[in-house]
């Protein structure tokens, strides 16, 4: 499995869900009560779609030092790990309460820039986020997730990567997840070449990881 520089497998000893042997880890200050050994903090795939994507061996194309736009940063669980290995990391979150937590996370990470914005409206942060980014990581819980990825495509370099988690239940809880994923991929292909897909079970039900690059 290809991991970004700055992401390693480390030994964590413990019981239950607190720690497992040879878990993914990044170096940084702890954020959500995760175990830390010699400066390495466990990246829990049960609490992170991107962590689950990496755990399942998907080649995301992410690399150490990448410039990243993170859409749907929530309280900072996953984006804190991203900022541990990436370069400038712009974290877009719509909910004010979550953004307050995100600001706390950013205090220990000078390369993490929280933005209280709506990922469906990239024009509201286009004056802040640089263009030609190496990657977009998307984890938004809304209808039209593929449309969000298309709207933010403008920030990616021509050889950049989109790494997204499509949530079937956020699109339509009544439909078969496979049908939801098929429709989302059709929409994505209007602006991206899809390189890889992977269901995120057993870590996250009815989620599809997608890796794509701009057309």
State residue 104's pLDDT score.
Answer: 95
Q: Quick one: pLDDT at residue 22?
A: 81
The pLDDT of residue 14 is: 60
- Smallest CA-to-CA distance from 60 within 204, 211, 215, 208 is with 211
Instruction: Give residue 25's pLDDT.
Output: 97
- For residues 147 and 81, the answer to whether their CB atoms sit within 8 Å is no
Please calculate the CA angle 137-30-10 and round it to the nearest 5 degrees: 80
Q: Which residue do the tokens 């019981």 mark? A: 15
Question: Could you give the CA distance from residue 68 to residue 84 in angstroms, rounded to a whole number?
Answer: 12
Picking from 127, 122, 118, 129, the residue whose alpha carbon sits closest to that of residue 151 is 122
DSSP character for 204? S
Say how far apart CA 44 and CA 39 lie, in whole Å: 16
SS3 for 94-123 is CCHHHHHHHHHHHCCCCCEEEEECCCCCHH
**Strand-pair partners of 138:** 71, 164
Q: Is the full-model pTM beyond 0.75?
A: yes
Q: Write out residues in the chain with pLDDT < 50, as ranges.
A: 15-16, 18-20
User: Residue 131: how many CB atoms within 10 A of its CB?
Assistant: 10
Which domains are delineated in the chain?
45-214 (3.40.50.150)
Round to whole Å and give the CA distance between 107 and 102: 9
Interatomic CA distance for residues 83 and 51, integer angstroms: 13
Q: What's the confidence (pLDDT) of residue 21?
A: 61
What three-state secondary structure class fits 59? coil
Residues 6 or more apart whose Cβ sits within 8 Å of residue 203: 45, 46, 51, 52, 55, 56
Q: How far apart are CA 194 and CA 181, in angstroms?
A: 12
Question: For 189-199, what is each residue's pLDDT tens digit?
Answer: 999 999 999 99
SS3 call for 197:
strand
């Amino acid at each position: 499995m290809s991991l970004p520089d700055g992401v390693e497998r480390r030994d964590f000893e413990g019981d239950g869900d607190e720690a497992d042997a040879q878990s993914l880890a990044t170096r940084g200050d702890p954020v959500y009560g995760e175990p830390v050994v010699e400066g390495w903090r466990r990246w829990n795939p049960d609490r992170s779609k991107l962590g689950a994507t990496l755990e399942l061996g998907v080649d995301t194309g992410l690399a150490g030092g990448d410039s990243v736009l993170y859409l749907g940063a929530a309280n900072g669980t996953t984006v804190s790990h991203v900022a541990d290995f990436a370069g400038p990391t712009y974290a877009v979150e719509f909910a004010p309460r979550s953004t307050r937590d995100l600001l706390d996370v950013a205090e220990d990470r000078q390369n993490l820039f929280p933005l209280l914005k709506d990922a469906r409206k990239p024009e509201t942060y286009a004056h802040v986020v640089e263009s030609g980014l190496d990657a977009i990581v998307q984890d938004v819980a809304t209808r039209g997730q593929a449309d969000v990825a298309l709207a933010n495509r403008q920030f990616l370099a021509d050889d950049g990567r989109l790494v997204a988690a499509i949530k079937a239940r956020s699109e339509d809880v009544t439909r078969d997840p496979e049908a939801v994923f098929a429709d989302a991929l059709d929409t994505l292909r209007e602006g991206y070449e899809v390189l890889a897909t992977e269901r995120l079970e057993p870590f996250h039900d009815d989620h599809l990881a997608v890796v794509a690059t701009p057309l």
